[in-house]
C-alpha cells in the first residue's frame, strides 16, 4: 500500500582536463526527469583552470526527504587523464505519506485537525468519547509521542496512551479506551492496563502533573516490550510479548482538550 517510489537521478560529468572543456558522458545517464546542469570552466586570476557545475531540479519533496552524494574518481588511460565526478540525488516523497497521524475513525466528541496531527474536543465539558488511533501500525522502536496542547481545570488524570491490535479501519470506536478488551495495552494516571484490566497500579508517578507542552509517548521495541516516555524520558518496561502489528492509541479525556502528535524529525 505504501508506495516506496524512490527515484534516483544519476548525473555524471566528465571534465576532460587536457582539452579544458567539459562534456557529459555515460550513455545510460537518465535525463528524463529534467535536471538542468550548468557547467563553467574558467581560468581564475592566477591562471589556473577552475571548473564548477550546478544542477537544478524542480521538486515537491521536503529538504528532509532528500539525500545527496557527490563522489569523484581520477583515472589515466590511453595517455588521457580524466576525473569523473558523480552526483546522486535521492528523493523519497512517500515518506510524507508514512508520517504518523491520527486515523479519521475517532470518538464522537473529538475532531482530527492540522492535517491529521492534532486531536481536539468538540465539547470541552464532555468527559468521554475522545478515543483516537494512529493511521498505521507503529514500526519496531518507533516512538508514538503526543504533546498536550490545552487542558481545563475541571477534572484530572485524563491523559491515556497505548497500543492496540485492533484495526482503525474496521473498529467500532468505543466510548473510552478501557472498553477495548482484546489486544490493547494503555497507560493512564499511574497505572498500566491490559484489555481494560489493571496490570500494574504503580507503574510510575501520577500523570496529573502534566502541563501544556508536556509530551507523553509509547514505544514497542523489536523485542515486543512496551515503554512509556514522559517528555522523552523512558519510564522502563511496562509490558512484554506485545504483538508486532499494533496501532497507537490516544485518548482525549477529562481535562485534556487538545493534543498533537510530535514529529520525530523536529
Ligand atoms: C563561472 O565561474 C567564474 C569563476 O567562479 C564566475 O566569475 C562566473 O560568473 C561563472 N559564470 C557562470 C556563467 O556561472
Ligand atoms: C586559482 O586556482 C588555484 C587552483 O585551484 C588555487 O590554488 C588558487 O588559489 C586560485 N586563485 C585564486 C585567486 O582563487
Ligand atoms: C482478539 O484479537 C485477535 C487478533 O486481532 C483476533 O484474532 C481474535 O479473534 C480477537 N478475539 C476477540 C474475542 O475479539
pLDDT tens-digit map of 58-82: 777 777 778 888 888 988 888 888 8
Residue 192 has pLDDT above 80, yes or no: yes
Closest ligand relative to 164 C-alpha: 3
pLDDT at 149: 95
The residue whose CB lies within 8 Å of the most ligand 3 atoms, and thus the one to mutate among 180, 182, 243, is 182
> Is 225 within 8 Å of 239 (Cβ atoms)?
yes
Residue 45: CB within 6 Å of ligand 2?
Answer: yes
Q: State in Å: Cα 133 to ligand 2 middle.
A: 60
Q: State in Å: Cα 169 to ligand 3 middle.
A: 15
Instruction: Give the pLDDT band of residue 34 (cuts 50, 70, 90).
Output: confident
pLDDT at 22: 37
Residue 265: CB within 6 Å of ligand 2?
Answer: no
What is the arithmetic mean of pLDDT over 24-30? 40
Q: Per-residue pLDDT tens for 194-234? A: 998 888 877 777 666 778 999 999 999 999 999 999 999 99
Of residues 34 and 162, more confidence is placed in 162
Please count the residues of the chain: 266
- Which atom of ligand 3 approaches the CA of 243 most closely? 4
State the CB neighbour count (10 A cutoff) for residue 185.
24
The residue whose CA has the least distance to atom 8 of ligand 2 is: 46
Report d(CA 65, CA 205) in Å as an integer: 38
Q: Per-residue pLDDT tens for 246-256? A: 999 999 988 89
Instruction: Give the pLDDT band of residue 97 (cuts 50, 70, 90).
Output: low
Instruction: Give the pLDDT band of residue 31 (cuts 50, 70, 90).
Output: very low
pLDDT at 207: 67
Domains and CATH numbers, the chain: 3-91 (no CATH), 99-261 (2.60.120.920)
Q: State in Å: Cα 240 to ligand 3 middle.
A: 18
Residue 49: CB within 6 Å of ligand 1?
Answer: no
The residue whose CA has the least distance to atom 11 of ligand 2 is: 46
Q: State in Å: Cα 19 to ligand 2 middle.
A: 19
What is the arithmetic mean of pLDDT over 33-55? 86
Amino acid at each position: 500500500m505504501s508506495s516506496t517510489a524512490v527515484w534516483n537521478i544519476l548525473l555524471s560529468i566528465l571534465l576532460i582536463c587536457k582539452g579544458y572543456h567539459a562534456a557529459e558522458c555515460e550513455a545510460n545517464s537518465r535525463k528524463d526527469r529534467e535536471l538542468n546542469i550548468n557547467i563553467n570552466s574558467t581560468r581564475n586570476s592566477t591562471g589556473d583552470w577552475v571548473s564548477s557545475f550546478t544542477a537544478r531540479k524542480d521538486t515537491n519533496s521536503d529538504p528532509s526527504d532528500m539525500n545527496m552524494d557527490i563522489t569523484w574518481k581520477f583515472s589515466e588511460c590511453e595517455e588521457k587523464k580524466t576525473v569523473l565526478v558523480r552526483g546522486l540525488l535521492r528523493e523519497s516523497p512517500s515518506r510524507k505519506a508514512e508520517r504518523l497521524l491520527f486515523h479519521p475513525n475517532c470518538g464522537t466528541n473529538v475532531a482530527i485537525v492540522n492535517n491529521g496531527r492534532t486531536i481536539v474536543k468538540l465539547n470541552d465539558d464532555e468527559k468521554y468519547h475522545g478515543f483516537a488511533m494512529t493511521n498505521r501500525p507503529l514500526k519496531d522502536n518507533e516512538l508514538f509521542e503526543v504533546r498536550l496542547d490545552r487542558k481545563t481545570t475541571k477534572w484530572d488524570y485524563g491523559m491515556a496512551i497505548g497500543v492496540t491490535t485492533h484495526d482503525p479501519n474496521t473498529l467500532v470506536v468505543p466510548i473510552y479506551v478501557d472498553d477495548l478488551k482484546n489486544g490493547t495495552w494503555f497507560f493512564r494516571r499511574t497505572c498500566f492496563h491490559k484489555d481494560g484490566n489493571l496490570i500494574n497500579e504503580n507503574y510510575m508517578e501520577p500523570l496529573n502533573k502534566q502541563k501544556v507542552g508536556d509530551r507523553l509517548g509509547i514505544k514497542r521495541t523489536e523485542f515486543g516490550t512496551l515503554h512509556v516516555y514522559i517528555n522523552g524520558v523512558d519510564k522502563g518496561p511496562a509490558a512484554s510479548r506485545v504483538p508486532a502489528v499494533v496501532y497507537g492509541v490516544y485518548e482525549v479525556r477529562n481535562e485534556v482538550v487538545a493534543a498533537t502528535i510530535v514529529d520525530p524529525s523536529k
